[in-house]
Amino acid sequence: MKKILALSVLMVTALSLSAQETYENAKIAAEDLNGTARYVGMGGAMEALGADISTISTNPAGIGLFRHSNVSVSFGLVSQADAKSAVGGSKTNASFDQAGFVYSARTGKTSFLNLAFNFHKSRNFNMILSASNGLNNASMNKLTYAKAKNGLLYEEYTNNNGEVRWDINRPYLSCNQLDDILAPNLNYDESRPQPWGYYDGASYQFDRAHKGYIGVYDFNISGNINNRVYLGLTVGIHDVHYKHYSEYSEDLTDFGLTVADDREITGSGFDVKAGIIVRPIESSPFRFGLSVSTPTFYELTTKNYTYVTDGRNTHSSRENNDAGPRTSYKFKLYTPWKFGASLAYTVGTDLALGATYELADYSSMDTRFVTSSYSNRSESDRTMNSHTKNALKSVHTIKVGAEYKIMPELAVRLGYNYVSSMYETDAFKDGTLDTDGSYVSSATDYTNWEGTHRITCGAGYTYKNFNVSLAYQFSTAKGTFAPFMSYVDDTTPADTNLATYTAVSNKRHQLLMTLGYTF
């Protein structure tokens, strides 16, 4: 009969003092290139060009360049064609990406006051990640053994025979959910003279299907002064819907073991964005823009169902112990400030050129645990924030784009993005941290992604007040996957547990259509 070490979902009414960990937070904080087909087709390099509703989130002053009211809606397909179908993940998904309007009112001969609302999908989580490799005698349960050996799992006590034993009902915060499943069922047997042991691994297979999105609802007020200075302010509401299901299998010396993890993160947040566009020379179409965005202040809830199977007996793990609930909890996340600078130039009415630079320091993200269910007060998780500071770094984004009108009704577009890596070269998920983020964690794997390249193109056609645009985006990023952190034992080399790293990639194709009406 298969051994099932289960951790069931607990619906808690009491508030748990918990926070999330660096690598999960990075998924929530990152953003995709998305919006209208015109914006995507030009690589999003429209922060100084303006007059596209997607600039409401990147440089709110761009809405100030509208001289007519407009309504638009965008939808399409996202495909990860080179991925393998696994654990219920789909390689191609339909997506509703944008819907919004701009109301433009003239306030003077050359001045306007504009109001706008826009929804767009800032993050599309749909992705399948797979990796496999040898283990060279390393294993997940061997890491649990190493943590126990270093006093990172349970409180010690001395029994009536004078023997040192461990109280599995009193875990430390560094004892994560998987440790709490593996330790009492695979690693620890207090009846033995040496109660701790482990099983070596030969190989592993990992598959995870990510699903969901972050939707952003932006409200904007903007305008221009004599067609020379454009100002804008946007308040955004962020709606998070993230899910993943993964299966991690190890071929151990005596049997096979599979860890299944089903996690969901939901919640909301808000941010404020401000921008300015200036045309410094009255006789020149050249203009530049500056923008700033506050952190997104998230309040999130996560819950999970995690179990382990092997080929022996059946065991269940606890949803609770003396350290508190594990599988459903609330936390806060404050993403970094973001700054942008942009340039634009037009040649007559036929050619538009744009370039944008953005900076965000992800090492400054603030992971927080809620301390009061009544006042909603929270405190920074200093231990996890220190890990974030060491694992993540500033991200530099460069966007360039062009639009050329072949005829007044028909335009073609090209764009390119480079987004630098968020991760330090030697970053890893540290399962030894004495923090709530480690305690509630249910996965040991991590991926350090390198920089992302995006190539975009598109076309748009206008007929009277109607317009339709199409865009294609190809994005690619390489990464290094590890099933768990490595551990080196200088005293007993046989206990060393070195993870085997695997090269992975994420190649995504997007087709996008926008329908618009100007009035």
- As beta bridge partners, residue 256 has 251
pLDDT exceeds 90 at position 313: no
Report which of 146, 142, 129, 139 is spatially closest to residue 251, judged by C-alpha positions.
139
How many other C-beta atoms are found inside a 10 Å radius of the C-beta of residue 88? 11
Tell me the pLDDT band of 267, cut-offs 50, 70 and 90: very high
Tell me the C-alpha distance between 244 and 212, whole Å: 9
What's the whole-number mean pLDDT along residues 68-92?
92
Is residue 96 within 8 A of residue 199, CB to CB? The reply is: no
pLDDT score recorded for residue 83: 86
pLDDT score recorded for residue 19: 62
Report which of 8, 83, 20, 1 is spatially closest to residue 309, judged by C-alpha positions.
1
Is residue 210 within 8 A of residue 244, CB to CB? The reply is: yes
pLDDT exceeds 60 at position 1: no
Would you state the structure tokens that stand for residue 382, as one six-digit string?
């200093």
Report which of 309, 225, 212, 230 is spatially closest to residue 55, judged by C-alpha positions.
230
Tell me the C-alpha distance between 123 and 69, whole Å: 27
**What Cα–Cα distance (Å) separates residue 114 from each residue in 214, 270, 316?**
26, 22, 59
CA 177, 171, 189, 149 torsion: positive or negative?
positive
- As beta bridge partners, residue 356 has 342, 399
Question: What does pLDDT average to over the chain?
Answer: 91
What percent helix, strand, coil does the chain show, rounded to 5? Answer: 10, 55, 35
Higher pLDDT, 191 or 458: 458
pLDDT score recorded for residue 81: 82
What's the whole-number mean pLDDT along residues 2-14?
34
Rg (CA), the chain: 26
pLDDT exceeds 70 at position 454: yes
What contacts 24+ positions apart, CB below 8 Å, involve 279-282?
A: 279/227, 279/228, 279/229, 282/228
Report which of 22, 21, 143, 24 is spatially closest to residue 500, judged by C-alpha positions.
143
How many other C-beta atoms are found inside a 10 Å radius of the C-beta of residue 408? 9
Higher pLDDT, 157 or 495: 495
pLDDT score recorded for residue 74: 99
pLDDT score recorded for residue 92: 94
pLDDT exceeds 60 at position 8: no
Tell me the C-alpha distance between 408 and 392, whole Å: 46
Tell me the pLDDT band of 429, cut-offs 50, 70 and 90: very high
pLDDT exceeds 90 at position 164: no
Higher pLDDT, 315 or 56: 56
- Report the range out of 155-164, 303-312, 330-339 with the highest average pLDDT: 330-339
Q: Which residues contact 389 (CB under 8 A, 6 or more apart)?
A: 363, 364
How would you class 348 by CB atoms within 10 Å of its CB: exposed for 0-12, middle for 13-18, buried for 19 or more? Answer: exposed
Least confident piece of the model among 321-335, 384-398, 460-474: 321-335
pLDDT score recorded for residue 42: 99
What's the whole-number mean pLDDT along residues 121-143?
97
Q: Which residues contact 83 (CB under 8 A, 6 or more apart)?
A: 89, 91, 127, 128, 130
How would you class 278 by CB atoms within 10 Å of its CB: exposed for 0-12, middle for 13-18, buried for 19 or more? Answer: middle
pLDDT exceeds 50 at position 13: no
386-423 pLDDT, tens digit each: 999 999 999 999 999 999 999 999 999 999 999 999 99
205-241 pLDDT, tens digit each: 999 999 999 999 999 999 999 889 999 999 999 999 9
Tell me the C-alpha distance between 423 and 475, whole Å: 18
169-211 pLDDT, tens digit each: 888 888 888 888 898 888 888 888 788 999 999 999 999 999 9
Least confident piece of the model among 29-38, 107-116, 425-434: 107-116
Tell me the C-alpha distance between 74 and 96, whole Å: 6
pLDDT exceeds 50 at position 10: no
**What Cα–Cα distance (Å) separates residue 354 from each residue in 50, 90, 342, 403?**
10, 35, 7, 9
How would you class 170 by CB atoms within 10 Å of its CB: exposed for 0-12, middle for 13-18, buried for 19 or more? Answer: middle
Higher pLDDT, 435 or 267: 267
Number of H helices, E strands in the chain: 6, 23
Tell me the pLDDT band of 315, cut-offs 50, 70 and 90: very low
Tell me the C-alpha distance between 57 and 217, whole Å: 9
Tell me the pLDDT band of 327, cut-offs 50, 70 and 90: low
pLDDT exceeds 70 at position 84: yes
What's the whole-number mean pLDDT along residues 65-89?
92
pLDDT exceeds 80 at position 28: yes
pLDDT score recorded for residue 314: 46
